[in-house]
Amino acid sequence: MTYKTSLYSQHLAAGAKMVDFSGWEMPINYGSQIEEHQAMRQH
């Protein structure tokens, strides 16, 4: 059984790929890692 944070549905709505991390469903990325990197550099 895995646990979900209160932000789980928001992560999914944002397109997150979820993985099990010590029993918790956590986002690993939100699509293209290159696009994610560029978005972080711009903001």
Q: pLDDT tens for residues 9-38?
A: 999 999 999 999 999 999 999 889 898 899
Are the C-beta atoms of residues 14 and 20 closer than 8 Å to each other? no
- Cα dihedral 28, 29, 34, 40 in deg (nearest 10): -100
- Residue 2 reports pLDDT greater than 90: yes
Alpha carbons within 13 angstroms on the beta-carbon side of residue 18 total 19
The predicted structure's pLDDT at residue 43: 78
Q: What is the helix, strand, coil percentage profile of the chain, to 5?
A: 35, 30, 35
Backbone angles phi, psi at 17, to 5 degrees: -95, 120
pTM of the model: 0.72
The predicted structure's pLDDT at residue 13: 97
User: Binning pLDDT at 50, 70 and 90, where does residue 3 land?
Assistant: very high
